[in-house]
């Protein structure tokens, strides 16, 4: 508060010292020997109506028309979730209280109580019917979602689709009369580094705010935010609460959804990331078609980044592209003629520098037909046509929850298939069952089992179907030997019975 006041005072002081007052302007002609006062600077009249800058020379003009065009469709998203807590549990952070009063179940602590967790973010109305795009992390786990418009109207919202892989979600406003204000989605491929953009959202819950900056970088990968890493980087101020808000170009088109910042303080440090509008469009189309999940093209191959050593061995001028490591039999990659050792350098005429860039370009293609993929094979460039097909669910899921007292009790598992591996973001194994969810407080949670783990073997028995796991864990054992795959690595644990 003191800092804010000091800044205001400094501004007022500068305004008083720089702006001439009537007392400072001499009246009448100057006395003999006295220099004539300087002529006042001519005042440039403001244009009758503010307009978007049409050239670099006009960059000082107002962006008010862009804001007026888009701001009514930028909303605040309030997500609420009921969580169970124990009275006094916060004292567990202090070792003194923990020593004398024990754990939450011990004496000195009350029973469970319920409190409401609230999350605040932003969103964008992308269709007059009331479809809102926001970040998945804003509404994740929410029991109730409410949306407030810029005109102060508020509506309950239904979650139509959540896509953790892109950190996007689509909501539908309930009620309302007439069409809602909406924005136009542009193409993020039209952006250039240095283009001016606006970020509109609700930072820190202070209300709708507009900030301005430039596109600092495009195709930013290896950020570690979502599966499809291909972000627009901007220096427009983005802060907590801006998540799900709009990144707008000079024509008033939404070119990205603001999703994350790089910050050591929790506030804006000039490095913000937005999900490109072309990826937003894919998620939105899935919601419009009535889907509850996003269907994307499946390649059926694993790719590797190219470092300088690999580039030298392939006689490349620089490290670029994605090297094919494996190709699954019967996959679109095999059908399109992709081979192990091929170097992918382009998709649909767009250059790809690494597997993240390829994943984005491939995932944003519509299902059906094929896409041109440029590869370097034995020093020669070739063009392949890869079919755009979804991952198949070749094996029925046969979902079950382990209910016995084994170390895997409380784990919900399904049979592995390419579709399940894509959905759970896990590396597909040749066999095994994959963990779908884990019950809180269960033996499986105590075992440190995680969603996405692929269980390969239990007590020497190979697990090929969920029924195998139920049968093996139903037999008592003094020692449990469990082998699983996590993130491409095979792990084995010995646990007491």
Q: What is the DSSP string of 336-380?
A: TT--TT-EEEEETTEE--SHHHHHHHHHTSPSSSEEEEEEEETTE
Strands 489-496 and 322-327: unpaired
The count of domains in the chain is 4
pLDDT number for residue 51: 62
Label residue 91 by pLDDT band (50, 70, 90).
Answer: very low
**Averaged confidence pLDDT in the chain:** 79
Residue 24 predicted with pLDDT over 80: no
**104 CB-side CA count, 13 A:** 13
| Segment (H or E) for 16 | helix 2-18
Given 122, 127, 163, 167, the catalytic residue: 167
CA 74, CA 149: separation in Å to the nearest integer?
Answer: 7
Same domain, 117 and 151: yes
Residue 53 predicted with pLDDT over 60: yes
CA dihedral 185, 187, 192, 193 (to 10 degrees): 60
156: annotated active-site residue = no
Give the percent of the chain with pLDDT over 70: 76
pLDDT number for residue 313: 84
Residue 226 predicted with pLDDT over 80: no
Highest mean pLDDT among 93-102, 254-263, 344-353: 344-353
Partners of residue 261 on adjacent β-strands: 272
CA 494, CA 459: separation in Å to the nearest integer?
Answer: 9
pLDDT number for residue 454: 93
- Residue-wise pLDDT for 432-480, tens only, equals 899 999 998 899 998 889 888 999 999 999 999 999 999 999 998 889 9
Given 122, 127, 137, 182, the catalytic residue: 137
Please check whether residue 41 lies inside any domain of the structure: no
243: annotated active-site residue = yes
pTM of structure: 0.71
For 56, 123, 183, 220, 261, the CA distances from 250, given in Å and listed in that order, are 12, 20, 13, 21, 22
Same domain, 168 and 195: no
Is residue 203 within 8 Å of 242, Cβ to Cβ? yes
CA 435, CA 482: separation in Å to the nearest integer?
Answer: 13
Handedness of CA 377, 383, 389, 394 (dihedral sign): negative
Domain hosting 472: range is 400-496
Same domain, 195 and 279: yes
Given 122, 243, 286, 442, the catalytic residue: 243
Find where tokens 């028309």 sit.
65
Same domain, 126 and 164: yes
- Domain end call among 173, 199, 224: 173
385: annotated active-site residue = no
Strand boundaries in 175-208, DSSP class E: 196-201
């Amino acid at each position: 508060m003191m800092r804010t006041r000091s800044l205001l005072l400094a501004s007022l002081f500068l305004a008083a010292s720089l702006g001439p007052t009537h007392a400072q302007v001499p009246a009448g002609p100057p006395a003999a020997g006295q220099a004539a006062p300087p002529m006042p600077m001519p005042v440039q009249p403001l244009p009758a109506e503010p307009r978007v800058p049409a050239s670099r020379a006009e960059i000082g003009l107002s962006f008010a028309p862009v804001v007026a065009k888009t701001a009514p469709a930028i909303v605040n998203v309030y997500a609420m979730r009921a969580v169970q807590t124990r009275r006094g549990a916060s004292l567990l952070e202090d070792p003194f209280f923990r020593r004398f009063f024990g754990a939450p179940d011990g004496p000195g602590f009350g029973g469970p109580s319920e409190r409401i967790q609230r999350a605040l973010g932003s969103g964008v109305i992308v269709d007059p019917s009331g479809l809102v795009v926001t970040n998945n992390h804003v509404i994740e786990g929410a029991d109730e979602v409410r949306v407030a418009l810029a005109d102060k109207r508020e509506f309950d919202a239904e979650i139509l689709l959540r896509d953790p892989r892109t950190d996007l979600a689509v909501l539908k406003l309930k009620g309302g009369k007439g069409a809602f204000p909406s924005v136009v989605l542009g193409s993020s491929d039209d952006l250039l580094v240095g283009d001016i953009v606006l970020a509109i959202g609700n930072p820190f819950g202070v209300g709708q705010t507009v900030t301005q900056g430039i596109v600092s970088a495009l195709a930013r990968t290896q950020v570690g935010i979502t599966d499809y890493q291909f972000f627009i980087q901007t220096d427009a101020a983005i802060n907590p609460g801006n998540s799900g808000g709009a990144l707008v170009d000079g024509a008033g088109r939404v070119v990205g959804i603001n999703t994350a910042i790089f910050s050591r303080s929790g506030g804006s440090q000039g490095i913000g990331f937005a999900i490109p509008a072309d990826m937003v469009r894919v998620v939105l189309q899935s919601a419009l078609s009535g889907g509850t999940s996003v269907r994307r093209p499946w390649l059926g191959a694993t790719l590797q980044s190219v470092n300088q050593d690999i580039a030298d061995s392939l006689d490349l001028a620089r490290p670029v592209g994605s090297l094919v490591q494996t190709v699954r039999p019967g996959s679109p990659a095999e059908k399109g003629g992709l081979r192990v050792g091929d170097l992918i350098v382009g998709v649909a005429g767009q250059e790809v520098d690494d597997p993240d860039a390829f994943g984005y370009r491939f995932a944003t293609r519509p299902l059906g037909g094929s896409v041109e993929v440029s590869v370097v094979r034995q020093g020669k460039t070739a063009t392949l046509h890869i079919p755009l097909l979804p991952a198949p669910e070749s094996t029925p899921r046969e979902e079950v929850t382990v209910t016995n007292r084994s170390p895997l009790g409380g784990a919900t598992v399904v049979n592995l298939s390419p579709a399940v591996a894509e959905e759970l973001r896990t590396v597909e194994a040749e066999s095994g069952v994959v963990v779908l969810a884990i019950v809180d407080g269960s033996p499986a949670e105590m075992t440190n089992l995680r969603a996405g783990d692929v269980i390969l073997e239990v007590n020497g028995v190979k697990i090929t179907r969920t029924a195998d796991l139920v049968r093996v864990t139903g037999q008592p054992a003094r020692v449990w030997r469990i082998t699983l795959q996590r993130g491409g690595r095979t792990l084995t644990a010995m646990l007491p019975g």
